[in-house]
Amino acid sequence: MNFQSGLSKSAFVPARRMEGVSESATLRLNALVQKMRAEGEDVVNLTTGEPDFDVPEAAKEAAIDAIKKNRSKYTPAAGIPELRAKIAARINAQQPSLQAVHPWTAADIVVTNGAKQAIFQSLLALVDEGDQVLIPAPYWLSYPEMAKLASGKSMILPTLFEEGYILQAAELEKALQNCASSGTRARILFLNSPSNPTGGMYSRNDFRRLGDIILKSPFAQDLWVISDEIYDRIVYGDVAFCSFLEACPELRDRVITVNGLSKSAAMTGWRVGWSVAPPSIQSSLVTLQGQSTSGINSVAQWASLAALDLPEETFADQIRQYRERRDLVLAILGQSGKLRVFSPLGAFYAWVDVRGACRTGEDSGQFSERLLSDGKVAVVPGDPFGGSGCIRISFAANLETLRKGCERFVRLVEA
């Protein structure tokens, strides 16, 4: 008897929580580019948000030292105490208004597998089925997908190019009223500054106006803010970086601040992020991590401790290079009257409205496919970011690559 023939066969049916959850467009496109390159095609890849700078030498040496000293055992689920204390000191420095009255301590920190895990755990800890997750658009493409996995419903809040892609207080107030009218709970508001994908930034006053709505609205009593500050170091001086709680310290007990070293220290593959959260939710976050990943790589934690010890001047040249790259991208793309390019204030992305360059009936996804097939330039279409008619370019690449890619882009548009 053939054993295989006796097995019961049935079609795989995913769990309902997977319905409508999309694969990361950025990772998918990056994989396609790698395949095309392997087949010999000359493709300029402007998709991924990964710094091309080297990891700081101090972090490398600390990792080697940790291995030699056998610091490679399990750590506490929330992270080694030394790293948690260093992160607390860093966030206190960014939030002096809070530091003076109610500073963060190591007990308020959970070190996570990248900022992504910190965000996902926050959603799982806070969102019940049907809760509304308020997401200003354009947004990082994982926010709504993670909200779905947490059984929440995404409510997308529009922002405008002319207003710097900043959520306006009136839009937030309207969204809260809509939640109340529909009988659903407004549970989370996502804020991301500097922003992926636009590079827009919130000023202290911008945050204060939103905070005032949250404090005063009768419909925001259960609302928490997840402030994604992963690009905090990469700013160009037009608007100063402001942590949300520095502008709205009264909301300390309803805000989770998320950050990490992937962008600011070019440590993407080390997967080191963290959440800073009040005691009311801290035990839930630690429990979630303990029952999922049990914590993060021990060696990466010791390396991160060294990276956080570095003075800001260590990264000054990287910021200078990012600014130079931004200016080059804006200058070249600005040569086409068919493109409308937002000038980023932070992060390392250019957000480009391509509707003037699209063919009849062509959307930004189809435009991106044409740019890849005919122009040999890979970008990410805006639809997964909530930005129909736009594309995102990453300028986390050297000047030669950027010049080549942007010139090809303009040639295709103007042909």
Q: Taking Cα atoms as reference points, which of 212, 215, 133, 233 lies closest to residue 179?
A: 133
How many Å apart are CA 190 and CA 228, to the nearest integer? 7
Contact 79, 301 (CB under 8 A): yes
Residue 7, pLDDT score? 56
Measured CA to CA, the distance from residue 107 to residue 137 in angstroms comes to 33
The CATH number of domain 57-310, selected from 3.20.20.70, 3.30.2320.80, 3.40.640.10, 3.40.47.40: 3.40.640.10
pLDDT value of position 11: 75
CATH code for the structural domain at 21-50+315-414: 3.90.1150.10
pLDDT on residue 131: 98
Query: Which residues make Cβ contacts (< 8 Å) with residue 207, sequence separation at least 6?
Result: 191, 193, 242, 244, 247, 248
331 within 8 A of 320, measured Cβ to Cβ: no
Cα gap 187→134, rounded to integer Å: 8
Q: Where in the chain is the domain with CATH 3.90.1150.10?
A: 21-50+315-414
pLDDT tens string for the chain (415 positions)?
Answer: 555 555 556 677 888 888 777 776 667 777 777 888 888 889 999 998 899 999 999 999 999 999 999 999 999 999 999 999 999 999 999 999 999 899 999 999 999 999 999 999 999 999 999 999 999 999 999 999 999 999 999 999 999 999 999 999 999 999 999 999 999 999 999 999 999 999 999 999 999 999 999 999 999 999 999 999 999 999 998 899 999 999 999 999 999 999 999 999 999 999 999 999 999 999 999 999 999 999 999 999 999 999 999 999 999 999 999 999 999 999 999 999 999 999 999 999 999 999 999 999 999 999 999 999 999 999 999 999 999 999 999 999 999 999 999 999 999 999 8
Number of Cβ within a 10 Å radius of residue 53: 15
CATH 3.40.640.10 residue spans of the chain? 57-310
φ, ψ of residue 46 in degrees (nearest 5) = -120, 35
| Strands of the sheet with 224-228, listed across from one edge | 109-113, 272-276, 255-260, 224-228, 186-192, 132-137, 153-158
In the three-class reduction of DSSP (H, G, I as helix; E, B as strand; rest coil), residue 84 is classed as helix
At residue 2, the pLDDT reads 55
